[in-house]
Amino acid sequence: MGLERKAGVEAAAFDVADAFAANELFWRNGWTDGLPIVPPTPDLVAQFLEVVRLEADAVVATEPVRQRRITAGKLAINAVMAGCLPGYMPLLTATVQALCAPEYSLHGASASTGGSAPLIIVNGPVRQQLGMEPLHSAFATVNRANATIGRAIHLLLLNVLGSIPGQMDRSTLGHAGKLTFCLAEDEEDNPWTPLAQERGVRSGLSAVTVMAAESPHQVLNEWTQDPRELLETLAAAMRANMLTYSIWAGNYAMVIPRQPREVLTNAGWSKNDIRDYIFESARVKRGQWRDVGKAAIAMRGDEERVYTALRSPEDLLVVAAGGPAGGFSAIVPPWYGNKSLAVTKEIADEYHSPEPHQ
């Protein structure tokens, strides 16, 4: 079996006996995450490049701190390895470009001891074209597109940017989103404006939003029909994150499944209403650090000073996703406040592949 090696340098060819031998070769060289890969044969890589009509050496994006170039060929190799289908390449291309926007701070988020991972939120027709799952077990679905798109980005960071645990990646703990963290918004089952359109993408177009994120915090409130009470539960989770993790304001994602979403929509609440309410509610005083064992920090400044989770209401990414039953919602905290900001990137029309999902 002939296959290509993927790494921070140009691809090189290897001959191995079979897929098992390919997996062992890649594992020994530190080119995988420990899970099985699809061997990136030249024919498969060529199929992925054909979808986006790019040569292997075409530069898709450049990481702005170390000036690492990410070529279409390297992206395709890692996408094959992750188990993607060729039709996923347009979305992966846009995701990489969003991650390399300076405001995302890819190097800082990848190297930090904080252990964040790129949360990938997908909007528009591409969700249905690729057969993505926006409902059941939204953060941990067995859906092929959701799982492998997130994993492809993880492998790319590992192999092309050198985000290797214990080396550039200095995560103290990390979280499972480092393996795959890809979410599709449920646009069909609610009256809310999709996230991408809220962030400037024209209606009917596909886009991806990326955010350097910590692990989701799941909350439960199925005992109210009052939107304010429901949002207070979510705001409480944000306040807890501010006190126990990081007090600095920035993007938070709020993922609301159907049951709690109906409490809000039945009362006529829009995403803007949610953002405005959370902006006012999700705030703490410096002195409250005393209540969580951080008295030494509380004493360094005015203990009455108020900190907000969001710099403005627009920092909150409200996402409709999750299964139809259960009063569960989630907040996804930021890595480090405004040190890394969410970025939305439109998926170019000419990249859309007619290939059906499998």
List, for residues 118-145, the tens digit of each pLDDT value: 999 999 999 999 999 999 999 998 899 9
Q: What is the pLDDT of residue 298?
A: 84
pLDDT at 353: 42
Q: How far is CA 82 from CA 139, 305, 321, in A?
A: 18, 47, 24
The pLDDT of residue 158 = 96
pLDDT exceeding 90 applies to what percent of the chain?
Answer: 87
Q: What is the structure's pLDDT at 71?
A: 97
For residue 346, what are its two tokens? 């439109």
pLDDT at position 351, please?
47
Q: How far is 105 from 64, CA to CA, in rounded Å?
A: 8
Residue 251 has pLDDT above 90, yes or no: yes
Q: What length is written for the chain?
A: 358
Neighbours of 113 (CB within 10 A): 10
Question: Which of the four pLDDT bands, split at 50, 70 and 90, describes residue 9?
Answer: very low
For 102-120, the pLDDT digits (tens) are: 999 999 999 999 999 999 9
The pLDDT value given to residue 357: 38
**pLDDT > 70? residue 5:** no
Work out the mean pLDDT of the chain and round it to a whole number: 93
Residue 189 has what pLDDT?
Answer: 83
Most confident of the ranges 15-19, 32-36, 170-174, 277-281:
277-281
Token pair recorded at residue 329: 């919602």
Q: Which residues contact 129 (CB under 8 A, 6 or more apart)?
A: 87, 352, 353, 356, 357
User: What is the mean pLDDT of the segment spanning 198-227?
Assistant: 97
Residue 4 is predicted with a pLDDT of: 61
Judge contact between 247 and 294, C-beta under 8 A. Answer: no
Checking if the pLDDT of 7 tops 90, the result is: no
CA distance 326 to 328: 5
CB 232 within 8 A of CB 240: no
Residue listed under structure tokens 């049951």: 259
Whole-number pLDDT of residue 107:
95
pLDDT above 90 for 321: yes
CA distances from 176 to 108, 166, 180, 257, 349 (A): 19, 16, 7, 21, 32
User: Taking 50 as the threshold, does the pLDDT of residue 76 lie above it?
Assistant: yes
Contacts of 309 (CB under 8 A, 6+ apart): 238, 239, 241, 242, 249, 252, 278, 279, 282, 283
Nearest to 116 by CA among 344, 332, 345: 332
Which candidate, 29, 6, 31, 26, places its Cα nearest to that of 16?
26
The CA–CA distances, whole Å, from 116 to 91, 138, 181 equal: 21, 19, 11
| Structure confidence at residue 16 (pLDDT) | 86
Check pLDDT > 70 for residue 341: yes
CB distance 153 to 163 below 8 Å: no
Range of weakest confidence among 16-20, 58-62, 128-132: 16-20
Confidence of residue 8 (pLDDT cuts 50, 70, 90): very low
Give the per-residue pLDDT at 350. Answer: 54
* pLDDT at residue 11, rounded to an integer: 66
pLDDT band at 79; cut points 50, 70, 90: very high
Q: Is the predicted pLDDT of residue 224 greater than 80, yes or no? A: yes
CA torsion sign, 203 to 72 to 89 to 185? negative
Report the distance separating Cα 62 and Cα 96, nearest Å. 9
Asked if the model's pLDDT at residue 208 lies above 80, the reply is yes
pLDDT score recorded for residue 19: 87
Range scoring the smallest mean pLDDT among 1-15, 19-33, 185-199: 1-15
End-to-end CA distance of the chain: 25
Summarised one tens digit per residue, pLDDT across range 301-313 is: 789 999 999 999 9
Pairing state of beta strands 182-184 and 283-285? Answer: unpaired
| Alpha helices (H) along the chain | 19-28, 42-52, 72-82, 89-99, 106-111, 126-129, 144-159, 195-198, 227-244, 258-266, 271-281, 295-298
pLDDT of amino acid 352:
43
Residue, of 173 and 300, whose pLDDT is higher = 173
